[in-house]
Amino acid sequence: MISPLMDQILQAAVTNGASDIILRSGHPVVFRIQGELTTVESELPGEPDLEALWKASGAEGNEWDRDASLTTGEGVRFRVNLLRQLGLRGAVLRRIQDQIPAMESLGLPCEILREWAGRPSGIVIVCGATGSGKSTTLASVLDWINGNQARHIVTIEDPVEFLFTGKKAFFTQREVGVDTPSFAEGLRRSLRQNPDIILLGEIRDALSALTAIQAAETGHLVFATVHSSGCADVVARLELLFPPGEREAVRKTLAEQLHGVLCQRLLPTVSGGRALLCEYFSNGGSSRRLIVEGRMNELQDFVSRGDPRNARSFADSLLQLVRKGIVSEAVALENTDNPQEFTRALRGISSASQATRR
């Protein structure tokens, strides 16, 4: 049972549309609303408030950190990270939406995602920074599968976020720390649970990466997330999880099993909301060869020059958002790696790479 003050804070977060709540004992409460941090005028939460929150989240009194989930009396769910700062308790809570949005409403490349979701086996990776909407994207893909395919879907998450009700598909949802000790162990055990599709909430280490690739090799369709800044960077990050002597073999196997990578960011819009910025590529002959040979710079060039039906860079997606009036030019320039080239493209001046693409 959380304290009355904490209940008021959570209700205020829901009312104000906050995605995150940052709490520190004896400090003002901070909400993240539309990506911006806002200090809340309220009574300061103290150690008793945080202690009650820790107990309600299942934490023991002597724990240092814990990932958990919390459901309020009104049925609103939060993902919770409990922590200590200078000896005092703190927490960061993220609201879990109860409605799974359709892929079309998120601005995703729906056609290519449906194509990947229809494959019988292999691996699909969704990447981006924390808070970029990876979980929401994967939930929308699984919900589409649920309405269209009779498949057994096993999810391994920390914590479980979206709750699925079976339509055509059947779901087994497992939470790390509650139903299984780790991502790697949950993934390994899931192979004995007759799944068609496995959702791995995050690839964190070499064991979970290797098991995910092996699951794809043995006839399962695996969806996984990786913290990464771009599509080409994903392969490099996965490779670096392994000792140098194993990396060549890992690249070869990954190249064979990978269907595609979707990387995403969230940007503030002109209207005050947030828009999804996507980079993606569908893995084929040319990209497979680049992955096997570890030519990541050329893989990024491949993404930038590719046919939009199969590949699109952040720069190209950003250009489209500005031209449609969704994102301002100022915001775009803050979020592009090459402001000068972006300005030229926006003015209709083709660069050499764009000319090659056409």
Domain of 9, CATH number, reads 3.30.450.90
Based on the fold, state whether residues 91 and 113 are members of the same structural domain.
no
Residues 220, 84 share a domain:
no
How many other CB atoms are there within 10 angstroms of residue 165's CB atom?
9
| Residues 57 and 117 occupy one common structural domain | no
Question: How does pLDDT run across 80-97, given as a tens digit for each residue?
Answer: 999 999 889 999 999 988
**Strand, coil or helix: 102:** coil
Question: 238: burial class by Cβ within 10 Å (0-12, 13-18, 19+)?
Answer: buried
- Which pLDDT score, from 0 to 100, does residue 160 have? 87
148 in the same domain as 29: no
**What is residue 349's predicted lDDT score, i.e. its pLDDT?**
64
Please tell me whether residues 173 and 250 are part of one structural domain.
yes
Question: Among 96, 119, 143, where does a domain finish?
Answer: 96
Closest CA to 206 of 162, 245, 169, 239: 239
Chain segment 251-274, per-residue pLDDT in tens: 999 999 999 999 999 999 999 889
Note whether 65 and 149 are same-domain residues. no
Model confidence over 88-121: pLDDT tens digits? Answer: 999 999 998 878 999 999 999 999 999 999 999 9
- 234 shares a domain with 253: yes
Structural domain that includes position 90: 4-96
Residue 222 tokens read as: 């695996």
Taking 70 as the pLDDT cut, the residues of the chain under it are 61, 349-358
CATH number (domain holding residue 128): 3.40.50.300
Domain count, the chain: 2
- Please enumerate in sequence order all residues whose Cβ is within 8 A of that of 73, keeping only pairs 6 or more positions apart, or say none: 7
